[in-house]
Amino acid sequence: MFSLLSIDPISLSERDNYKFLTGSIIPRPVAFITSLSENGIVNGAPFSYFNIVSSHPPLLSVSIQRKDGVQKDTSRNIIEKGEFVVHITDETNVEKVNKTAASIPANESEVEMAGLTTVKSIKVAAPGIQEAKIRMECVLEHWIELGGNGDVVGCDLIIGRVVHYHIEESLYDHGRIDPEKLGAISRLAGSNYAKIGEIFTLERPK
């Protein structure tokens, strides 16, 4: 049997809760999200509180923390413009994507700063980046303010609807994505990341 520690999250600091959650809920896929500011600046940042919400219709979620109730540029842009582009972070682009997590003024572009190349979208105004094998153009389906204390909101939960997929041809195999060719990376705790490990198959239960 395991010898489990028994801990009430209320007794923990914000940092300790962060460490338990990000160390336990692993591996987490990393979305690189581009969005457009009011002044037309292309904003880019990575987010690992990211997942599928529904495949029919195609919906995904990203949760963006606030700092002392203040929204990050990505949340503000998505809520104002109602559009964004999600890219799958992989072994070939993760170093540049990581650079975009730097806090720079809202009137500067992390995409440019990291040496990433923008590419026009088809159905949304926000451009994507060329250095991703999969990108999904999204429109804002739902925005939910969550958590925090009293009037101070803790995070913005963004639900996006995928309105267009861009998928590198060589990954695409009879309607499926080849996981090894995609080479998606995931985030663990702190500065640690992981590659796809050994893949194994289980029979579907009947």
Residues that bind ligand FMN (CB under 6 A): 30, 43, 45-49, 63-65, 72-74, 98, 101, 103, 187
What's the CA gap between 96 and 89, in Å, rounded? Answer: 10
Residue that is written with structure tokens 């962060």 in the block: 18
Nearer Cβ to ligand FMN (74/121) = 74
In sequence order, the 6+-apart residues with CB closer than 8 A to the CB of 95 are: none
Of 93 and 121, the one with the shorter C-beta distance to ligand FMN is 93
Shortest reach from residue 35's CB to ligand FMN, in Å = 8
Q: How far apart are CA 204 and CA 21, in angstroms?
A: 30
Q: How far apart are CA 32 and CA 85, in angstroms?
A: 8
Torsion (CA) 147, 153, 156, 157 in degrees, nearest 10: 20
**Of 99 and 172, which has the nearer Cβ to ligand FMN?**
99
CB of 172 to ligand FMN, least distance (A): 26
Q: How far is the CB of 63 from ligand FMN (least distance, A)?
A: 6
Nearer to ligand FMN, 145 or 172 (CB): 145
Cβ at position 62, least distance to ligand FMN in Å: 7
3-state secondary structure of 29: strand
